[in-house]
Chains A and B, each alone.
Chain A
């Protein structure tokens, strides 16, 4: 396998201007991975600042309802309210080691933008966050949070005005400011080495979950479920289980249903293409133009997916399923009432799949669901748009 490739997927499909930055990033990353000082400092930030490790919560009520043993990996309890901080602390610290003086990031739901703003604040790096104009409206609370944390939010009015255009805008900024700026990409997408870096920083989720379930149950789970937009929380929890006899299920945004064409399920309904620097699965038309996508969850509203997921799909190692907006919304309300945990609409997709799959599980089966983020950011939207009280 070539460096930066996952099977045939991945690669570095970027303008020449960016290549020097990617090469520098690759070299720095190789260096900091071996640097005990980097590991020591990252470990301090993860434990003392961000609140790792996060609990693996046995959910009694949910288990009773589903007829199996259900655990939630509680990334919603990480500082900032989502798994995103694992990656932003890692990359921001790396940017420090590289001597960069400025962070830029893209954000969809706002979670990655908030996590970058947090990392920038604590590590004393100025942050600018590109966010699609549509998303700044549907995630107004996160815009305020980012600004409160000292970041500048730049609304992106080009293209579809969502996550993909925010990534385009951030890449354009990076090309023009390579000397002093680190582009802190938020998912396991984009050109090499980003998919690798993000996966490595997010793998702490799966490493903890694997150790925790062995301590608790004395064996590995039967199934691990996570939602997939770009796929960073999923690759983070899957990766340490890839060589185990554990079923892995990635849940994509089914939107209004795959047949409607209004969804974000690139693995379930897309085809292979090059997008934003990598070869992967992509929602595209016959000419190779990226299609508009839809999901109730802004963080899953994206036409492509990380290249490692593309490889895992083709290899049959991970099964990818799609869950509709309506199913996710039901799971959002259900988990809130049954367990007192309000999930992010993104994470609600994983919960919805668990509800759907329950029929095929035995009572001794162990199911781990990655609860990648908390749903406070979605509460106003659900109340206003999707019909008031639960």
Chain B
């Protein structure tokens, strides 16, 4: 059983945290990951910094800029993955990347290096299913899960096609737009979760815009297996330049507050999904 499978079998819903590798610099970045793990992040998404992150809103874009200014390269990203893997052996790690980084390095080499470093999955944010033919064999060869994106705008026919190439878990985009904090999540989340649930046995995690405890509660109530938080965590790094101790403290507090959105689980031994489905 893979680490991702094991996590979702053991716990539901799970809390997924996102960080850009090398933000705010290469050394502090490991500290950020460590704090996130210590504060109870169940699965860590590590983004590879990129010059043109078009799927991301301003907060995460600025994190990409900070990481690149600090000189972060894909080699540094793999080094970070190795360190986090050593620190937290059972923690599932997913690389979040734009395709040109993978293409430039060579698709198979990228997947091989990711696997060797200890990554469990790769999400290529600008590689829709039509273009993903080249990565499928490499993912299989190196035992890396291909995390796919489904948007509210994805038609039922496309969902089917996308799910055909998915493994690990499915990343549901909650809203039309880029990453970033919102005041409200769209009201029809349960509908999206339910519609995708009918077509796959993979766990479903919801991200984009999730930034408050009540959002976390809403995602859990919609029946999702996981909630993904990015900008709300990345913002903490941005707001503490030169104050590492303060940053770690606030980061822990923010994660604790967000996780309070999960209602106390009366029967932690039983996966919530089975309960939702009756």
A residues whose Cβ falls under 8 Å from a Cβ of B: 11-17, 19-21, 23, 158-159, 164, 168, 171-172, 175-179, 273-277, 279, 282, 284, 286-290
- Measured between beta carbons, the chain A residues less than 8 angstroms from B99 are 13, 274
Evaluate contact between A21 and B51: CB separation under 8 angstroms. no
Distance (whole angstroms) from the CB of A78 to the closest CB of chain B: 31
A201→B76 CA distance, assembly (Å):
45
A387→B130 CA distance, assembly (Å):
52
Q: A159-B65, A288-B104 are in contact. Are A17 and B51 (CB under 8 A)?
A: no
Evaluate contact between B149 and A15: CB separation under 8 angstroms. yes
A287→B155 CA distance, assembly (Å):
34
- Measured between beta carbons, the chain B residues less than 8 angstroms from A287 are 73-74, 101, 104-105
- Measured between beta carbons, the chain A residues less than 8 angstroms from B54 are 14-15, 168, 171-172, 276
Interface centre among A178, A277, A282 (most CB of B within 10 A): A178
A59→B234 CA distance, assembly (Å):
60
**Is the C-beta of B265 less than 8 angstroms from some C-beta in chain A?**
no
Evaluate contact between A172 and B52: CB separation under 8 angstroms. no
A237→B153 CA distance, assembly (Å):
37
Evaluate contact between B128 and A14: CB separation under 8 angstroms. yes
Report the nearest B residue to A286, measured CB to CB: B104
Report the nearest A residue to B125, measured CB to CB: A15
**Is the C-beta of B198 less than 8 angstroms from some C-beta in chain A?**
no
B residues whose Cβ falls under 8 Å from a Cβ of A: 50-55, 57-58, 61-62, 65, 68, 73-74, 99-105, 125-128, 130-131, 148-155, 158, 162, 173, 176-178
- Measured between beta carbons, the chain A residues less than 8 angstroms from B103 are 273-274, 279, 288
Given contacts A17-B55, A175-B177, 17 further A-B contacts (CB under 8 A): A17-B153, A17-B173, A17-B176, A19-B128, A19-B151, A19-B153, A20-B154, A159-B51, A164-B52, A172-B57, A175-B178, A179-B176, A273-B103, A276-B52, A288-B50, A289-B51, A289-B101
Select which of B68, B128, B153, B178 is within 8 A of A289 by beta carbon.
B68
- Measured between beta carbons, the chain A residues less than 8 angstroms from B125 are 15
Distance (whole angstroms) from the CB of A303 to the closest CB of chain B: 9
Distance (whole angstroms) from the CB of B174 to the closest CB of chain A: 11
Evaluate contact between B51 and A16: CB separation under 8 angstroms. no
Evaluate contact between B52 and A159: CB separation under 8 angstroms. yes
Distance (whole angstroms) from the CB of B22 to the closest CB of chain A: 12
Contacts A/B (CB < 8 Å), 17 sampled: A11-B131, A12-B131, A15-B125, A19-B128, A19-B154, A20-B154, A20-B155, A158-B61, A159-B51, A159-B52, A159-B61, A171-B54, A176-B176, A176-B178, A273-B104, A288-B50, A290-B52
Report the nearest B residue to A17, measured CB to CB: B151
Evaluate contact between A13 and B127: CB separation under 8 angstroms. yes
A176→B175 CA distance, assembly (Å):
8
Q: A20-B153, A287-B101 are in contact. Are A14 and B158 (CB under 8 A)?
A: no
Distance (whole angstroms) from the CB of B153 to the closest CB of chain A: 4
Evaluate contact between A12 and B128: CB separation under 8 angstroms. yes
Evaluate contact between B176 and A288: CB separation under 8 angstroms. no
A152→B196 CA distance, assembly (Å):
39
Evaluate contact between A21 and B153: CB separation under 8 angstroms. yes
Evaluate contact between A289 and B50: CB separation under 8 angstroms. yes
- Measured between beta carbons, the chain A residues less than 8 angstroms from B105 are 287-288
Distance (whole angstroms) from the CB of A185 to the closest CB of chain B: 13
- Measured between beta carbons, the chain B residues less than 8 angstroms from A164 are 52
**6 closest cross-chain pairs (CB), A and B:** A288-B104, A176-B177, A20-B153, A15-B55, A16-B149, A17-B151
Distance (whole angstroms) from the CB of A94 to the closest CB of chain B: 20
A158→B65 CA distance, assembly (Å):
9
- Measured between beta carbons, the chain B residues less than 8 angstroms from A159 are 51-52, 61, 65
